[in-house]
Structure formats: structure tokens, C-alpha cells
């Protein structure tokens, strides 16, 4: 493969915030002592007075974000997914979700691709947690282009939005002139008639690669990018179930409660069809370089290819 | 409003609390009654609010962090004219506007949904911070229970407020000394409360939370304090004004039956009559 540009979506987040900050005075960015890692440091440099470091206190940060939102500010509360969705779950539910406040949660370091920090910091449960909160929109962008578009769309959407970003540099796959981002609208990245791979976030790039490997074996795989896990694009999923023989979901997240579950929720009501869920199989992660972990947990292109072949 | 008028309003507010809880057949009278005088002062003297324009941008804000005492807030809002008093009788009923804990989406005058303890203070801090960021001069008030301050998030918020010198923020601790499982010093003592807030760089004022002269002096001093937030630690009596509820932890979360309701109202009538003689 030719050299592809790679950038971590957490970097896209930081860069998109700066653009947003230039355009809109009411954008305020909050962090909990992780500005260097969540990449909100770039915003801090540009707009120091609108960057609020809350210290290591994520629950309080979510409450402060809620308070800011009641007065018309648009806060982007940033932390690792583990702490934003995990530690502060109840604050997000009760102080942001229930009153439907206009707070954006920028959750970086999602999934096992956090790498060497290991299981305590690898959040494979955040999508599941956030999905249960009424009013919450969940976006898991696949690359730099999509991440930046998602930040803008999150600003334009009134209400709580959970944005999921990764630490690992992801290949840029959406830099086409006709790329358009719409909350809740899935994207058919590759057409195919035999099976459909429904992927989200970092896994979209791997899914495309896996589809190319499957093509060599004579399997024509469709690849659908679900960047918005809630509200999910039901039409594109039902269509895939009707037109192809089996659905494979791929996510860097537990197979319990994430994209796979969301797809099953749609299909069991609208169009019962066989689904195989590829993801973190009800286990904690571990330390190691991100690329090695993705391989070990069969979440790279090879792992997806292998699991599809085994479960056709 | 003079002191006598405030006392009369507080007495009326207590009647509404007892009446709404009797109608609801459940809820939290003890803390609602202990905070009634401070609630009265906030809505009838202190806060810049307008029932005709509940969302006006420059209004002062109240976050009822101890959201279970919503009946006190609802009574104040109804008496101010935010909504008809008849709503108080539908408290906690299916489909009613007045939820068991404050809901900002459904109730005019409620500045923040609250009730999960420890969270409201953070939201109040966010509101106060917002005013500082955009150079607005509204003030933000939040009422916490003394049991509530066992929640760690309260101290995260206090640390931030002190650090940011949010002098437009007033934290009121309703120190009635009782929580569900007993007295706060027996369950898990948060004392000394004032010293803790002092350590977080607050201006601390300790008062009798049923004495309107003290309440007035405290809020005036808070307004004059620059460069640090104020914490008013208000010593109060749980169940204040209803003889059989006073200082009883068991009246934290139970509604009066018909007979108890009659006694409670008679107690409050007596207080009202005494105030008329003044």
C-alpha cells in the first residue's frame, strides 16, 4: 500500500476546537489535567481565558460544564474515555443528560489502542454506558477528516454529545472532495453483495483493508461506517441485512453494549438477520504497544479477516 | 421586606410545604422546613429574579443541591407567582409539573435540575465561572445539606471555587445536624464544617439559620466580600415549626398523615397568629 497520511483523532479534536474557538466566542474547553494528552492544549495556547483546567476532578468538571451550558456557553469537557464516561457517568446522566444541557464531552484514549498504560486506562465500556442515557448523541469518528467534521457538527447540534477519540494515529480515509458528515447518517465506504462489515472509529480503516483481503478469496464485502452510534442509521443497517447474507460488526469496544449491540437492537426489531460481533470479548485489556494489542485482540485488518472467515 | 413580613412569608411557605407533602403522601419535610427561612430570604429579599421572565439572562441563580427539599423551593416559586399554587397539591403525582426533585425543563423558575447529592454545587460553580468569563454581575447561590457534604464532589467543587476566587458564589450549608441514618456526627462527621470551607479559601459565615437579622447580615457580608467565595453555615432545626417533626431524623423522608397534618397546620397557625400580634 502507498504511504497514507496518519493522524490520531485526539489531535483532530484539539485542532478542530481551535477552529471552532475562532468562529464562536461561546466555545469553552474544560480539561482535567490532561490537556497535553487530550490535545486541548492547542486550544489553551490560542484562547487561554476560555480553557478551564479543573484539575484532577472529572465529576466536578462535568458539573461545571453543565453550569456553563445553562448560561449559553458551549463547553467541551475533555478527559480520557475511562474518566469521562466511567468515573463521571452519573454526573453525565443527571447533570447533563437529564436536563438535556448543551454540553459536549470530548473523550480521548478510548479502547485498547491506549496501549502501554494498560487495562485501567483502556475504556472498552464507554459506548455502552453512554448509549443508555436519553438525549445523548454518540459519535465515534474514523479519521482526522471525520473527527474534525464531528466536532463542528456536535457544536451545531443542541444537546449533549459524546465524542469518542483515539490515541493511535489512524489513516486518513475520508479525504474525498464529496465527503459530507451528518449526525446519524452511516456511510457505505465500500460496496459489496456477500456480507457487510459494519465498523466504527479506528476499525473502519481496518475493515476496508480486511474487505480487500476477503475480495482476494472471492468474498465481496460491503463496509459501512457507523460514525454515529446514537442515533444510529437504521436504514443503512436494515438495507445491509436485506441485501447481504451476514452482518459483522467491528468496534474497539466491548462486544457487550456497543456498536454490535446497537446493530442487533435495530435488526431484532426491524429485520432479524445473523450478526457476528467483533470487538473486545468481555475481557480487560493489558499493556503493550497499541499495534501489537490490536493484533493480539484480533482487531486489526488481519484479525477482522480471520474472524469473518471463521464465522461466515 | 421587613423582618416581620419575612417571618410571615416563611410561615406561609412552611404551610405550603406541609400541605404539598400531605397531598403527595411522601417526600422530605424535615429538610424542607429547616431551610424555609433561608429560602424565603433568597426569593423575597436577596435574589434578582422576575417571575414574569424566569429565564432573564442577568438573573441571580439558585441551584438546590439538596434537591430533595424541593417542596421548599416550589413553595417559594409558587408564592412568587412563577406558577399557580394549585400545582403544589400535585407534587410527585404522575404527569405533574412538580417532580420529586427539581426539573429545570418542566418547572418555571428552577435554574437547574438537581437532587443527586454532591452535584449541584459543581453546577453552581459553573454558573458563577460563566459570569466571570463574560463579565456579567449576576450572583449564584447553592444550598447544600450538611449530610450532603460527605460527598467528595462537594470538595472538588469547593477547591475549584476557592482557586478561581468566585466571589459571586454563595454556598449555603443547611446544618440541621440530621441525616437519614441519624445525626451527622454519629454517621460520618463532617465537622468542623466552617473550618473545612476556610481551608478551601472561602469566606465563612456561621449563623442561626432561622434568625432573619443574621441571615440578612450574612448575605450582605457575602456581597461585600471580594476575591473569595462565601460559605454560610446555617445552624438550623430539622422539621422547624412543626412540633413533632423538630429534630427527628425519622421526619427526613416521610409525609404526615391526616391527623399529623392537622397538628402540623395548627402549630403553624399558632406561629402565624403570634406574628400577627406583633
The domain boundary residue, chosen from A141, A171, A201: A171
**A178 domain-assigned:** no
Look at chain A and report how many structural domains it folds into.
2
**A71 domain-assigned:** yes
Q: Check CB contact of A57 with chain B, cutoff 8 Å.
A: yes
Interface test with A, best of B123, B132, B136, B164 (most A CBs within 10 A): B123
Asked if the interface predicted TM-score (ipTM) of this complex is over 0.90, the answer is yes
**A176 domain-assigned:** no
**A181 domain-assigned:** no
Look-up of cell digits 481551608: B199
3 state DSSP class of A223: strand
Residues A166 and A117 in one domain: yes
Closest CB to A57: pick one of B124, B126, B156.
B156
pLDDT at position A2? 57
Per-residue pLDDT of chain B (278 residues; tens, 9 = 90+): 999 999 999 999 999 999 999 999 999 999 999 999 999 999 999 999 999 999 999 999 999 999 999 999 999 999 999 999 999 999 999 999 999 999 999 999 999 999 999 999 999 999 999 999 999 999 999 999 999 999 999 999 999 999 999 999 999 999 999 999 999 999 999 999 999 999 999 999 999 999 999 999 999 999 999 999 999 999 999 999 999 999 999 999 999 999 999 999 999 999 999 999 98
Q: What is the mean pLDDT of residues A22-50?
A: 97
> Is residue A141 pLDDT above 70, yes or no?
yes
Q: Are B120 and B141 in contact (CB under 8 A)?
A: no
Nearest Cα neighbor of A76 from A42, A106, A108 is: A106
Could you say which DSSP state residue A143 is in?
A: S
Å between B49 CA and nearest CA of chain A? 15
pLDDT at position B278? 81
CB contact under 8 A, A67 and B156: no
Percentage of chain A surpassing pLDDT 70?
A: 99
CB contact under 8 A, A99 and B113: yes
pLDDT at position B256? 97
> Is residue A149 pLDDT above 80, yes or no?
yes
Q: Check CB contact of A88 with chain B, cutoff 8 Å.
A: no
Closest CB to B122: pick one of A55, A60, A71.
A60
The domain boundary residue, chosen from A122, A145, A171: A171
Interface test with A, best of B126, B131, B140, B160 (most A CBs within 10 A): B126
What's the half-sphere exposure (Cβ side, CA atoms, 13 Å) at A42? 16
Closest CB to A67: pick one of B57, B122, B163.
B122
Residues A153 and A200 in one domain: no
Residues A135 and A276 in one domain: no
Domain boundaries B3-277, corresponding CATH code: 3.40.50.970
CB contact under 8 A, B133 and A65: no
Closest CB to A70: pick one of B103, B111, B160.
B111
Residues A197 and A120 in one domain: no
Strands (E), A122-204: 137-139, 161-164, 169-171, 187-190, 195-199
Catalytic residue at A292?
Answer: no
CB contact under 8 A, B153 and A63: yes
> Is residue A81 pLDDT above 60, yes or no?
yes
Residues A224 and A301 in one domain: yes
CATH number reported for the structural domain that contains residue A137 in this entry: 3.40.50.970
Between strands A6-8 and A169-171, the pairing is antiparallel
Look-up of cell digits 485489556: A285
CATH number reported for the structural domain that contains residue A195 in this entry: 3.40.50.920
Query: Considering chain A, what is the average pLDDT of its residues?
Result: 97
Nearest Cα neighbor of B42 from B111, B126, B97 is: B111
CB contact under 8 A, B126 and A64: yes
- Which one of the listed residues A23, A46, A49, A58 is annotated catalytic? A58
CB contact under 8 A, B122 and A62: yes
Q: In A, which residues are within 8 Å of B166 by CB distance? A: none
Cell representation of residue B211: 434568625
Residues A274 and A143 in one domain: no
Q: Are B161 and B203 in contact (CB under 8 A)?
A: no
> Is residue A97 pLDDT above 90, yes or no?
yes
> Is residue A66 pLDDT above 60, yes or no?
yes
Residues A30 and A148 in one domain: yes
> Is residue A3 pLDDT above 80, yes or no?
no
pLDDT at position B34? 98
Residues A126 and A191 in one domain: no
Residues A139 and A25 in one domain: yes
Q: Quote the CA–CA distance of A214 and B157 in Å, as a whole number.
A: 54
Residues A117 and A228 in one domain: no
Domain of residue A255 covers 187-307
Q: Are B11 and B268 in contact (CB under 8 A)?
A: yes
Residues A14 and A96 in one domain: yes
Å between A141 CA and nearest CA of chain B? 29
Residues A153 and A224 in one domain: no
Amino acid at each position: 500500500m502507498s504511504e497514507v497520511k496518519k493522524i490520531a483523532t485526539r489531535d483532530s479534536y484539539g485542532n478542530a476546537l481551535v477552529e471552532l474557538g475562532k468562529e464562536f466566542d461561546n466555545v469553552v474547553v474544560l480539561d482535567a489535567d490532561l490537556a497535553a494528552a487530550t490535545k486541548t492544549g492547542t486550544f489553551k495556547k490560542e484562547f487561554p481565558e476560555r480553557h478551564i483546567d479543573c484539575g484532577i476532578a472529572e465529576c466536578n468538571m462535568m458539573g461545571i460544564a453543565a453550569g456553563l451550558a445553562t448560561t449559553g456557553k458551549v463547553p467541551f469537557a475533555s478527559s480520557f474515555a475511562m474518566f469521562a464516561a466511567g468515573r463521571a457517568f452519573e454526573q453525565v446522566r443527571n447533570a447533563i443528560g437529564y436536563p438535556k444541557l448543551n454540553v459536549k464531552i470530548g473523550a480521548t484514549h478510548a479502547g485498547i489502542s491506549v496501549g502501554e498504560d494498560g487495562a485501567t486506562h483502556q475504556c472498552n465500556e464507554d459506548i455502552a454506558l453512554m448509549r443508555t442515557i436519553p438525549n445523548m448523541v454518540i459519535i465515534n469518528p474514523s479519521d482526522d477528516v471525520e473527527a474534525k467534521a464531528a466536532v463542528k457538527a456536535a457544536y451545531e447540534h443542541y444537546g449533549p454529545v459524546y465524542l469518542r477519540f483515539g490515541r493511535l494515529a489512524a489513516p486518513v480515509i475520508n479525504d474525498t472532495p464529496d465527503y459530507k458528515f451528518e449526525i446519524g447518517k452511516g456511510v457505505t465506504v465500500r460496496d459489496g453483495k456477500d456480507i457487510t462489515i459494519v465498523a466504527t472509529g479506528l476499525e473502519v480503516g481496518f475493515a476496508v483493508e480486511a474487505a480487500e483481503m476477503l475480495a482476494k478469496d472471492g468474498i465481496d464485502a460491503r463496509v459501512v461506517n457507523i460514525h454515529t452510534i446514537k442515533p444510529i442509521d437504521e436504514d443503512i443497517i436494515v438495507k445491509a441485512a436485506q441485501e447481504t447474507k451476514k452482518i459483522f460488526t467491528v468496534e474497539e469496544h466491548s462486544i457487550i453494549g456497543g456498536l454490535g449491540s446497537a446493530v442487533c437492537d435495530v435488526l431484532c426489531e426491524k429485520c432479524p438477520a445473523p450478526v457476528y460481533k467483533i470487538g473486545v470479548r468481555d475481557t480487560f485489556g493489558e499493556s503493550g504497544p497499541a499495534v501489537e494489542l490490536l493484533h493480539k485482540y484480533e482487531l486489526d485488518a488481519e484479525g477482522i479477516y480471520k474472524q469473518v472467515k471463521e464465522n461466515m | 421586606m421587613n423582618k416581620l413580613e419575612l417571618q410571615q412569608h416563611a410561615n406561609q411557605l412552611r404551610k405550603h410545604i406541609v400541605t404539598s407533602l400531605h397531598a403527595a403522601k411522601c417526600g422530605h419535610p424535615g429538610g424542607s422546613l429547616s431551610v424555609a427561612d433561608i429560602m424565603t430570604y433568597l426569593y423575597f429579599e436577596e435574589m434578582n429574579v422576575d417571575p414574569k421572565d424566569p429565564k432573564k439572562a442577568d438573573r441571580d441563580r439558585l441551584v438546590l443541591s439538596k434537591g430533595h427539599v424541593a417542596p421548599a423551593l416550589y413553595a417559594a416559586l409558587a408564592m412568587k407567582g412563577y406558577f399557580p399554587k394549585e400545582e403544589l397539591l400535585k407534587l410527585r403525582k404522575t404527569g405533574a409539573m412538580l417532580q420529586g426533585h427539581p426539573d429545570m425543563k418542566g418547572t418555571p423558575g428552577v435554574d437547574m435540575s438537581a437532587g443527586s447529592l454532591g452535584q449541584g454545587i459543581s453546577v453552581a460553580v459553573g454558573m458563577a465561572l460563566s459570569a466571570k468569563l463574560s463579565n456579567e454581575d449576576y450572583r449564584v447561590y447553592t444550598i447544600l445539606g450538611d449530610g450532603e457534604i460527605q460527598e467528595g464532589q462537594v470538595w472538588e467543587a469547593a477547591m475549584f471555587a476557592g482557586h478561581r476566587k468566585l466571589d459571586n458564589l454563595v454556598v449555603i450549608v443547611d446544618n440541621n445536624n440530621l441525616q437519614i441514618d441519624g445525626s451527622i456526627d454519629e454517621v460520618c462527621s463532617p465537622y468542623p464544617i466552617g473550618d473545612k470551607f476556610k481551608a478551601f479559601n472561602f469566606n465563612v459565615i456561621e449563623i442561626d439559620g432561622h434568625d432573619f437579622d443574621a441571615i440578612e447580615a450574612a448575605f450582605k457580608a457575602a456581597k461585600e466580600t471580594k476575591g473569595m467565595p462565601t460559605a454560610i453555615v446555617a445552624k438550623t432545626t430539622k422539621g422547624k415549626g412543626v412540633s413533632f417533626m423538630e429534630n427527628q431524623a425519622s421526619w427526613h423522608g416521610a409525609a404526615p398523615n391526616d391527623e399529623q397534618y392537622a397538628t402540623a397546620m395548627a402549630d403553624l397557625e399558632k406561629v402565624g397568629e403570634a406574628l400577627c400580634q406583633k
